[in-house]
Amino acid sequence: MPLDVFENRSIIKYAIFFQTINKCNEKLDSLNKEKEKLNSIIKKARGNRELTCLHCNSNYKIKELIYIQTYWFKPPSGCTEGGYPIAQEGYFICSNCNTRNRFLDSYELPYDYRKTMINPLVRFNRYYKCEFKDRIDKTKEHEKLRFVNITIGKDFIVEE
């Protein structure tokens, strides 16, 4: 086989290789853009979910509410244990009646499942908390407000 034929074949192989990679990268770019678009639709849909104040029945979209986080302080023990806050329940304050609406587990949920993704509240916190207008920590003033308990149910779960 003359040398120039070999070189031509080699050049053609490289050209095919680069063409294949470039085509795949273009397709991946387009799929990534589509994925971003779909994720933003999901995000918007979650932000538009409504929560109802259990005291006065006012409805709010999640994206209009402020998620308030409470903490439980784990006291120090031994040489290295504890001494840090652990996130506990969350709630929103109804702007109409000033009631704290606490997000709680469903009572029927067996205790062993409370911290798993089977728990609608765990999923709610994972997927909806970031869609609230803002997230702040509880203040002493909040403790003076009356509260009601909202059980987060399976209606917030979407299989993924």
Positions touching Zn ion (CB under 5 A) are 53, 55-56, 58, 94, 96-97, 99
Residue closer to Zn ion by CB (options 60, 122) is 60
Residue closer to Zn ion by CB (options 25, 96) is 96
- What's the min distance (Å) between Cβ of 131 and Zn ion? 20
- What's the min distance (Å) between Cβ of 145 and Zn ion? 11
Task: Give Cβ neighbours of residue 77 (< 8 Å, ≥ 6 apart).
Answer: none
DSSP 119-158: SHHHHHHHHHGGGSSEEEE--GGGGGS-EEEEEP-GGG--
Residue closer to Zn ion by CB (options 58, 151) is 58
- What's the min distance (Å) between Cβ of 52 and Zn ion? 9
Alpha-carbon Rg for the chain in angstroms: 26
**DSSP type of residue 65:** S
Question: For the chain, what is the largest distance between any 2 Cα atoms, rounded to a whole number of angstroms?
Answer: 92
- What's the min distance (Å) between Cβ of 67 and Zn ion? 16
Residue closer to Zn ion by CB (options 56, 130) is 56
